[in-house]
Amino acid sequence: MAEILLSGPEDKLAVISGEKRITYGELKERIFRLANGLQDLGMTSSDNLGTMLYNTNEFIEGMFAPMLMGSTTTPINWHLKGDELAYVISNSDSRTLIFDEGFLDNILQIKSDLGGVKNFVVVGDVDKSKITDDMILYDDLLEKASKEKPTPPESAEMGILMYTGGTTGRPKGANWGSLFGSLSSKSKDKNKGKDKDKSKDTMKYTMGMMQNLVSGFGYAKTTNIHLAAGPLYHAAPYAFALITYVFRGTIITMKKFKPEEALKLIETEKASTSFMAPTLVKRVMNVADKDKYDVSSMKSIIIAAAPCPASLKKEAVDYFGPVIYEFYGSSDAAINTILKPGHYKKDPSKFASVGKVAKGNDMKILDENGNECPPGVQGELYVKNALTIGLEYYKDPDKTQKAFRIIDGEAYFDEGEIMVKDEEGFFFVADRKKDMIISGGVNIYPAEIEEVLHTHPKIMDVAVIGVPDDDWGESVKAIVVLKDGQTATEEEIMKFGKENLSGYKKPKSVDFFDELPRHPDGKLMKRDLRKKYWGDKKLSDF
């Protein structure tokens, strides 16, 4: 797999990482050296490589080297610290850990809890006196290793153990290797608990999913110079980086996202594709003098990871042109739907949609009785695709079992989402099941309220939650982040809600925050917000 993805012309640019400009030939040699160096350290195909790295060329190298070794890689969220970081490293059974020098203190604090890690490799120009005797510098490892192509084991398969950045509980290890390994003749039948020949079924779903990635987002029509804006340890940025190399493209890495720097890179490097969570798009749209940058090279900007207000999509199209794509999906179940420029160009009302069913997906919206909902009726979303067929949460069979529902004899993944589709087959997100507010026995979906409040000219970001109410059980609270330089009162925001929402949906109270707690992939951490208002009461419901 690694050789297929890295078979571009030797002298073509593969990575632009800060001041570094690395060709395919140079990148391939570095990946060969890394794979050989890891094997020199004693790492085998049965071992897992953990990487805790910024968006740099070293991250790209850490993506591909394990493929040559037939081993699994786990990209680690570098925002994690303490017990949570120790949990992911230990739970993933990472035997070798490659990390940036900026995380040295975090690793040293938990090192005594990482008994399973045999090798610690540090990226950067760190003073050797600051690292422990059992640590090695990344550059030293590569320099001493052979540059010849390593010999992979016969059983080599691409393995990726991706820890989901969920908003509740500990991260779950989703085995992405199933997407590529599921082409084998057998896969697990979650219904009967027996091995069952599903090669034809699996092939159909897998080819459909690969077709989405290859042709669903306009990649085949661009120069494929990809701006890696979001952190590559997250599922979607990782996947689109891989697809860039399928097209023999170039990746521009941003160590940390800065909106104006992103615009400069688009202009100077003629970037043509990018994946951005809605929060990153919003920050780009708020650059005061963004019109001075030439962004005409962009042909495909893909939005996902969190709900994106229709107003923000329209604003992005006004600036970049009709090159905005959106998909609904998850780290666990990949891409479920795709919204394409042709959809909203034909009918602007589709800006509010997340598109139609993507190839290689079966999707069902069921009511509380398990019946399939007709168009216009909200229900719970269940999906089946190439990733869900083989999905298993690492070392957690109980969680795996609970993630699926048997529908017509087949296992469908529970996305935890309330959805509705229209007569044309376009899907619309109502809300997360766990985010629903029940006020006076009435179900209220915060996403709809947030969508409206996002159109207020003074609001930068907003979250809507239910807070304790003696009379109604819960009442609607809006938590608002204002744009720089703006001021507003609670009464002003509540009046706006009253004018644009049904009476039972309008906020009953408003608080103003400097920023909202968001996971780096853009997901709003509503559990943290609820705790402020509920304390320990009903936290199990969150």
pTM of the predicted protein model: 0.83
| Interval 215-242 mean pLDDT | 89
pLDDT of residue 249: 94
pLDDT in tens, 78-100: 988 888 899 999 999 999 999 99
Report whether 193 contacts 395 (CB < 8 A). no
| Interval 505-515 mean pLDDT | 94
Cα distance between residue 210 and residue 386, in whole Å? 9
Cα distance between residue 164 and residue 418, in whole Å? 20
Of 144, 147, 140, nearest in space to 125 by CA? 140
CA distances (Å), origin 202, targets 180, 240, 265, 286? 10, 22, 40, 44
pLDDT in tens, 302-348: 999 878 889 999 999 999 999 999 999 988 888 999 999 999 999 99
Confidence bin at 542 (pLDDT 50/70/90)? very low
pLDDT in tens, 400-415: 999 999 999 999 999 9
Could you give the domains of the chain? 25-157 (3.40.50.980), 207-431 (3.40.50.12780), 436-541 (3.30.300.30)
Say which residues have a Cβ less than 8 Å from residue 321's Cβ, sequence separation at least 6: 296, 298
| Interval 364-372 mean pLDDT | 95
Confidence bin at 183 (pLDDT 50/70/90)? very low
| Interval 98-118 mean pLDDT | 96
Q: Percent of the chain, pLDDT > 90?
A: 61
Beta bridge partners of 431: 418
pLDDT of residue 420: 95
| Interval 215-235 mean pLDDT | 89
Q: What is the DSSP letter of 113?
A: G
**Six token digits for residue 295:** 């962004």
Cα distance between residue 392 and residue 420, in whole Å? 28
The more confident residue out of 360 and 407 is 407
Q: Is the dihedral of CA 273, 275, 276, 278 positive or negative?
A: positive
pLDDT in tens, 151-182: 876 655 557 899 875 544 678 898 875 454 44
What number of other Cβ atoms are within 10 A of residue 352's Cβ? Answer: 19
Select the highest-mean-pLDDT range: 64-73, 272-281, 290-299, 502-511. 290-299
Q: To which residue do tokens 């951005």 refer?
A: 276
Confidence bin at 70 (pLDDT 50/70/90)? confident
Of 95, 406, 55, nearest in space to 232 by CA? 55
**Six token digits for residue 272:** 């043509």
Of the given ranges (27-41, 263-277, 503-517), which has the lowest mean pLDDT? 503-517
Number of H helices, E strands in the chain: 18, 28
Of 257, 354, 312, nearest in space to 461 by CA? 312
Computed over every residue of the chain, the mean pLDDT equals 87
For residue 298, the SS3 value is coil
pLDDT of residue 472: 80
| Interval 423-433 mean pLDDT | 89
pLDDT of residue 205: 61
Of 172, 146, 176, nearest in space to 158 by CA? 176
Cα distance between residue 29 and residue 51, in whole Å? 19
- Looking at residue 442, its amino acid is V
| Interval 430-437 mean pLDDT | 80
Report whether 325 contacts 218 (CB < 8 A). yes
For residue 198, is pLDDT > 90?
no
Describe the crossing of helices 278-285 and 259-269 by its angle, rounded to 10 degrees: 80
pLDDT of residue 120: 97
For residue 535, is pLDDT > 90?
no
What number of other Cβ atoms are within 10 A of residue 508's Cβ? Answer: 16
Report whether 465 contacts 526 (CB < 8 A). yes
pLDDT of residue 5: 65
For residue 20, is pLDDT > 50?
yes
Confidence bin at 32 (pLDDT 50/70/90)? very high
The more confident residue out of 299 and 197 is 299
pLDDT of residue 151: 81
The more confident residue out of 524 and 167 is 524
Q: What is the DSSP letter of 355?
A: B
Q: What is the DSSP letter of 373?
A: P
For residue 201, is pLDDT > 50?
yes
